[in-house]
Structure 1
Amino acid sequence: MQQTSTFSSPRLPWAALWATCLLAVGMVFLNQAVSGRQALLLLLGGALGLTLYHAAFGFTSAWRVFILDRRGAGLRAQMVMLALAVLLFFPVLGAGSLFGEAVRGNVSPLSTSVVIGAFLFGIGMQLGGGCASGTLFTAGGGNARMLVTLLFFVIGSLIATQHLGWWFALPSLPPTSLVTRLGVLPGILVSLALFALIAAATVVLERRRHGSLEVTVPGEHQGAARLLRGNWPLVWGAIALAVLNFVTLALAGRPWGVTSAFALWGAKGAGLLGLDVSGWAFWQQPANARALAEPFWFDVTSVMNLGIMLGALAAAGLAGRFAPSLRIPARSLVAAVLGGLLLGYGARLAYGCNIGAYFSGIASGSLHGWLWLVAAFFGNSLGVRLRPFFFPGERRVERLTGC
């Protein structure tokens, strides 16, 4: 069930105005410095950030609530999101092009590194307090603790790039896509059956524990006001995220991803501090070397990530909830550091995060996305059992918080 909030009395939403101005200025700059398409990708990131914030669409809290209390609304919303994404993605990926432009899915090996990386990422989700998308939109929405998680997410991502050669040499199976292996229609049917099975399992387990499914409390705002200020029903967020990921495929030629930019930010930051990583094997690969040499605004993922943060800032301002606080308990701060490192390191090992590997991977028909889901769920299960040490006094059963 989503949290409801008491909105502040009407006042000028300065945070939203600043975010909108920065988005506009950024789009003008990108249009001139890179391309009109890059400017649209910044705007698309803004739409993703607003959606994530207003729908409180978090992967971390959804999994935590299910693990601890068997409430499955968040997981069922994720299945709706994935089902719609598969219906949109598979025909296009089967054709290999969209509007005359080549497109590709996120399809990666079924490897040992995916299992270990996703497991570490799952622990990091619960300690850090968010996933990749959750870290971005909650940090953009004014959560100071999540800025700490984001910083160490970046550091963990950079550290992992030094070790990837060893990890990727571990036993693995080749990349496998349901689209190419089964065909478009059979792949869709198999995927929808799996989504339905997971959703049905959450219903059975929730009813077994509570006797009935949780009823969502109506939001304070309705109609156009709710669209602008939140809170959105989870299904709105699920539909919007699937559609916006498909728009990403159309504009960028590949699905939505998040964490590759964090490794790049870490590498560029290390360079500013005097550490040259260009000699590392990972950064000598042509695409990575080019990204490291170019300004960061040429990187699609970096631009979209900044857009997500600005979109979340705008949403927080519109909702009257932008109120940053620097008061972070010591144990919570330690958890943010450890969680961020695990998130960053794990994402690189697993060929992505909850977005690039789980959402976009499964939407692409990649079996590594399903492997990621299983391993990350076990990691989350361990993570929720570690939380009481770092968050003493936290309620055992929580509602969905969006991160």
Structure 2
Amino acid sequence: MTWQQFKQAYLIRFWAPMPAVIAAGILSTYYFGLTGTFWAVTGEFTRWGGHLLQFLGANPESWGYFKVIGLEGSPLDRVDGMMIIGMFGGCIAAALWANNVKLRMPQSRIRIAQALIGGIIAGFGARLAMGCNLAAFFTGIPQFSLHAWFFALATAAGSYFGARFTLLPMFRIPVTLKKSVKPPQSSRTKIRLDGVFVSECWCLSVLSVGVY
């Protein structure tokens, strides 16, 4: 397989969902066996927010919440910290290799407000639940945890009603059609990485823990 074939098959095209999810579950089991901890990200994101508050002069290590999840050391000293750094590095490397990095702002301010509010709510929800979907789906279910299955059912129901809720007219933005003067692009599948803006919202949600 040439580099262009590998790039097209694994970096540009979408992976098949079922094999990818099964592989992620298997890898999370090995991750638990090798590190002794579960695969999760929001807890470490919250610790990063705590370190930022320490840099600004606050003392979050004395708060009850950080006494529960711990704030010792730095991201380089913790397994979760190194894992997240590796995840960011791998995602950025794959996106750069596939030439799919594009920074852009939403055309409507409504989308910006929705992303900020949604990110803050998601951050609070994950921290109040002491975990996110990664900890439940890719750690709890492969390890046969009963609470993870309850979480999966609740997530399915919440996603359904949440999707219906966001389709209400109050959340819709005006759409105008414009005539394109550019020549049609090739049929090659391209993936836009809008997750950069979502990551910014997650950073705000992490900082919101300090307010909580």
Task: Output the TM-score relative to the length of structure 1.
Answer: 0.39
Cα offset for 1:322? 0.9
Which of 7, 10, 13 lines up with 1:230 in the alignment? 13
2:158 is the counterpart of 1:379? yes
Aligned to 2:82: 303
Aligned to 1:353: 132
Aligned to 2:25: 242
Which of 373, 384, 392 lines up with 2:173 in the alignment? 392
Task: Report if aligned partners of 1:351, 1:357 keep a CA contact under 8 Å in 2.
Answer: no
5 Å-filtered alignment, 1:329-340, equals 329-340=108-119
| Cα deviation digits, residues 228-271 of structure 1 (max 9, x gap) | 54332223422331232133123212331111112111211122
CA 1:311/1:225 → structure 2, altered by over 3 Å: closer, same or farther? same
Runs of 4+ in 1 over 4 A off after TM superposition: 221-225
Instruction: Write the letter of the residue equivalent to 2:152.
Output: L
| Cα deviation digits, residues 346-394 of structure 1 (max 9, x gap) | 1122231111023311222211111212222232223213324344268
5 Å-filtered alignment, 1:122-141, equals none
Aligned to 1:106: none
CA 1:391/1:308 → structure 2, altered by over 3 Å: closer, same or farther? farther
Which of 49, 52, 56 lines up with 1:273 in the alignment? 56
Give the distance between the partners of 1:357 and 1:228, measured in 2 at CA: 27
5 Å-filtered alignment, 1:78-157, equals none
Give the distance between the partners of 2:7 and 2:104, measured in 1 at CA: 30
Cα offset for 1:307? 1.6
Task: Report if aligned partners of 1:350, 1:372 keep a CA contact under 8 Å in 2.
Answer: no
CA 1:224/1:384 → structure 2, altered by over 3 Å: closer, same or farther? closer
Flag the structure with more relative contact order, 1 or 2, with Cα contacts below 8 A and sequence separation at least 6. 1
Task: Report if aligned partners of 1:350, 1:357 keep a CA contact under 8 Å in 2.
Answer: no
Aligned to 1:12: none
Structure 1 stretches of 5 or more lacking a match?
1-220, 395-400
Aligned to 1:282: 65
Give the distance between the partners of 1:351 and 1:293, measured in 2 at CA: 18
Give the distance between the partners of 1:281 and 1:247, measured in 2 at CA: 32
Give the distance between the partners of 1:354 and 1:312, measured in 2 at CA: 19
2:121 is the counterpart of 1:342? yes
| Cα deviation digits, residues 115-140 of structure 1 (max 9, x gap) | xxxxxxxxxxxxxxxxxxxxxxxxxx
Structure 2 stretches of 5 or more lacking a match?
176-191, 196-212
CA 1:382/1:273 → structure 2, altered by over 3 Å: closer, same or farther? farther
Cα offset for 1:278? 1.9
SS at match of 1:232: coil
Identical-residue share of aligned pairs (%): 29
Cα offset for 1:320? 1.9
Per mean C-alpha deviation after superposition, the further-off stretch among 355-364 and 382-391 is 382-391
CA 1:269/1:363 → structure 2, altered by over 3 Å: closer, same or farther? same
CA 1:263/1:228 → structure 2, altered by over 3 Å: closer, same or farther? closer
Instruction: Write the letter of the residue equivalent to 2:43.
Output: S
Give the distance between the partners of 2:165 and 2:54, measured in 1 at CA: 35
Instruction: Write the letter of the residue equivalent to 1:271.
Output: Q
Aligned to 1:260: 43
Task: Output the TM-score relative to the length of structure 2.
Answer: 0.70
CA 1:328/1:361 → structure 2, altered by over 3 Å: closer, same or farther? farther
Give the distance between the partners of 1:278 and 1:315, measured in 2 at CA: 36
Give the distance between the partners of 2:5 and 2:22, measured in 1 at CA: 18
Task: Report if aligned partners of 2:24, 2:138 keep a CA contact under 8 Å in 1.
Answer: no
Aligned to 1:134: none
Task: Report if aligned partners of 1:249, 1:256 keep a CA contact under 8 Å in 2.
Answer: yes
5 Å-filtered alignment, 1:149-188, equals none
Instruction: Write the letter of the residue equivalent to 2:173.
Output: P
